[in-house]
């Protein structure tokens, strides 16, 4: 069974750094793109970007480029999303997701990680 399990909720202050994770299981992690999606409180979904764990190839939404960094460690089947300096506007739920096979529609989703940035 394919599963994406994300790290727990986090609370940080503005200016702090953070890395959240998404661990895949039940499939060959290296072979499928992983997407990151943001959902701000009461708002719609926003595509942050995707990473191919096999070679760490990344594609960013220009709106998020420079604000976050995606990475992956295929040896432990885990993808990461990192912030160097959080802002209050980063408060959101962050999901990782994977397509069923090829394509860019996402069948498998993590449970989401709530990130709260508040002074």
Residue 28: CB atoms within 10 Å: 11
Paired strand residues for 70: 81
Check residue 25 for interaction with another protein (CB under 8 A): no
For residue 22, the minimal CB distance to another protein (Å) is: 12
Quote the CA–CA distance of 17 and 23 in Å, as a whole number: 20
Query: Contacts with another protein in 34-53 (CB under 8 A)?
Result: 35, 37, 43-47, 49
Size of the chain in residues: 119
| Closer by beta carbon to another protein, 53 or else 110 | 110
Residue 6: CB atoms within 10 Å: 21
| Closer by beta carbon to another protein, 30 or else 39 | 39
Check residue 73 for interaction with another protein (CB under 8 A): no
Check residue 59 for interaction with another protein (CB under 8 A): yes
Q: Are 67 and 83 in contact (CB under 8 A)?
A: yes
For residue 13, the minimal CB distance to another protein (Å) is: 26
Check residue 109 for interaction with another protein (CB under 8 A): yes
Separation of CA 26 from chain center: 19
């Amino acid at each position: 069974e394919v599963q994406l399990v994300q790290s727990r909720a986090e609370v940080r202050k503005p200016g702090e750094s953070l890395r959240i994770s998404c661990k895949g299981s039940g499939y060959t992690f290296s072979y499928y793109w992983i997407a990151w999606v943001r959902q701000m409180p009461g708002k719609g979904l926003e595509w942050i970007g995707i990473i191919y764990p096999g070679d760490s190839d990344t594609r960013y939404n220009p709106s998020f480029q420079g604000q976050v960094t995606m990475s992956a460690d295929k040896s432990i089947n885990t993808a990461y999303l990192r912030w160097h300096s959080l802002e209050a506007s980063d408060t959101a739920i962050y999901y990782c997701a994977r397509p069923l096979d090829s394509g860019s529609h996402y069948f498998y989703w993590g449970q989401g990680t709530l990130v709260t940035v508040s002074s």
